[in-house]
Amino acid sequence: MKRTLIKEILLSGEAGTEVNIKGWVRTKRGSKSVNFIAMNDGTCLGNLQVVADVASFDEDTLKDTTTGAALSVTGKLVASQGSGQSVEIQAEKIEVLGTADPEKYPIQPKKHTLEFLRENAHLRMRTNTFSAVFRIRHAMIFAVHKFFSEKNFYNIHTPIITSSDAEGAGEMFRVTTLPFDETPRNEEGEVDYSQDFFGKSTNLTVSGQLEGELAAMALGQIYTFGPTFRAENSNTSRHLAEFWMIEPEMAFADLNDNMDLAEEFLKYLIQYALDNCNEDLEFLAKRQEEDEKNKPKEERNMNLIEKLQFVADNDFVRLTYTEAIDILRNSKPNKKGKFKYPVEGFGTDLQSEHERYLVEKKFKKPVILTDYPADIKAFYMRVNDDNKTVAAMDILFPQIGEIVGGSQREERLDVLEAKMDEMGIPKEEMSWYIDTRRFGGAPHAGFGLGFERLISFVTGMGNIRDVIPFPRAPKTCEF
């Protein structure tokens, strides 16, 4: 008999139908005469209740239907006596496909802490919390492609192994074909990186942007959505060593077009989650409300769903870096009236405490900060007429901080080359990049959205390690 998904049964199962389900036991309770087994197959939050009359089954089979065991159950759907669900399944045949020793199985039918589940990352997807998060993550992947398809952006795969290290976005992971103990060294004893990959020094990509620009200069509007790697030794709740980034790039566009696209995109994704992941979001919202009760009132976060709807419905605040510095210098962030990192003036690199102050205290809305000092931003950003700032933008979200970083790119050959010289970026090695300006250089702009930061925001999960199935971070790479 063909298997039916539990999601479909809970949605539209009719009493009287004969079905087969396969899944894992979540809970079991019962009496001498009847067992009630709640089954989940990952397709939805809800469980389907299996009713097994003890007299109809041999003792050994029922004994093995403990939490975590994998079962195949065949039987008839009947109207449910209990509240919540309209049908349950009256079991005729139960096959135990895999047992789970109740003494050893770590995932018990109770609320585990996120720390405990992080330590059991290989099994945590079997909980409601994590299956909800990863179903939402799936929906967001789909929504990303849907949004760009509808807008005529082409998806381009940019390389994962790259020999370009000029982006300067973070520390790189080295990729080498050399055996571990045969790394060649020069006379000074320094590692000879040029031997990594047939005469080239190679790394894992930190961003697909530069290659994305090449594609935008041919296809007009493109986006990449791929894994990126940063060997940053940061133990924050916002940084991973391996994360996924969405990077659109548009030809014939300036910073305003870029801000409009990013704001529309973020709102679209959030609204998509609200429209399509309601059951999972309601569950996560409830979980968080329970956690919030332990916090002092003034630190409590808004209800997850209200927060998402608010961001989807309201304009983001747009403001220049220089205006933000003025606000920060005149603000009293806490009882002491000071930030941990003082805001000296123009040129100060904003820390997350400053970003969060602007978003969470001052404006209480997402903020797009623009026109940063040229000195603290990358070489490819377009220099503004003031010669001091560049056409950069960061989008700051509550609880997350920076969620998007982007810019209009410098399309003028002479200005770009001068900037590369000034910053010591080797032009010969980047000749492929400069060619886009040598031949038909057009104004263009783009941004990068950190996919896990988005998922953190949408699910309300405070630690970025809890929104990627297999997190990679310092001391987090067990398998």
Binding site for ligand ATP (CB under 6 A): 169-170, 230, 232, 238-240, 243, 245, 402-405, 448, 450, 452-453
Minimum Å gap between C-beta 378 and ligand ATP is 8
Give bridge partners of residue 268 from the DSSP assignment. Answer: none
Residue of 232, 228, 226, 175 lying closest to 200 (CA atoms): 175
In which element (H, E) is residue 53 found?
strand 48-53
Nearest distance from C-beta of residue 210 to ligand ATP, angstroms: 12
The one of Mg ion, ligand ATP, none whose footprint includes residue 225, by CB under 5 to 8 A per kind, is none
- Three-state SS at 341: coil
Identity of the residue, 171 or 257, whose beta carbon is nearer to Mg ion in the bound complex: 171
Query: Which of 55-63, 80-88, 241-249, 404-412 is the region at the interface with Mg ion (rule: CB under 5 A)?
Result: 404-412
Among 398, 405, 406, 450, binds Mg ion (CB under 5 A): 405
Q: How far is the CB of 402 from Mg ion (least distance, A)?
A: 5
Q: Give which of 221, 278, 267 is closest to 454, Cα–Cα.
A: 267
Instruction: Find out whether 110 and 26 touch, Cβ atoms under 8 Å.
Output: no
Among ligand ATP, Mg ion, none, residue 404 binds (CB under 5-8 Å by kind): ligand ATP
> How far is residue 409's CA from residue 407's CA, in Å, rounded to a whole number?
6
Cβ(77)–Cβ(89) below 8 Å: yes
Residue 248 touches Mg ion, criterion: CB under 5 A: no
What whole-number distance in Å separates Cα of residue 246 and Cα of residue 451?
A: 7
Output 232 or 279, the one with its CB closest to ligand ATP: 232
Query: Which does residue 28 touch among Mg ion, ligand ATP, none (CB within 5 to 8 A, set by kind)?
Result: none
Residue with tokens 């930030």: 339
Q: Between 212 and 405, name the residue whose CB sits nearer to Mg ion.
A: 405
Q: Per CB under 5 A, which region of 91-99, 281-289, 297-305, 405-413 contacts Mg ion?
A: 405-413
For residue 466, give the 3-state DSSP assignment.
helix
243 binds, options ligand ATP, Mg ion, none, Cβ within 5 to 8 A by partner type: ligand ATP
Whose CB is nearest to ligand ATP? 450
71 within 8 A of 97, measured Cβ to Cβ:
yes
- What's the CA angle centered on 191, arms 188 and 194, to 5 degrees? 115
Q: How far is the CB of 394 from Mg ion (least distance, A)?
A: 6
Closest CA to 266 of 213, 314, 318: 314
Reference 242, options 170, 325, 340, 292; nearest CA is: 170
Q: Shortest distance, CB of residue 232 to Mg ion, whole angstroms?
A: 6
Region of 21-29, 55-63, 246-254, 400-408 interacting with Mg ion (CB under 5 A):
400-408
208 contributes a contact to Mg ion by CB under 5 A:
no
Q: At closest approach, how far in Å is the CB of 344 from ligand ATP?
A: 19
The nearest distance, CB 121 to ligand ATP, in angstroms, is 17
Report residue 375 as tokens: 């000195």
Structure token digits, residue 333: 């962030």
Contact 137, 124 (CB under 8 A): no
Binding site for Mg ion (CB under 5 A): 402, 405
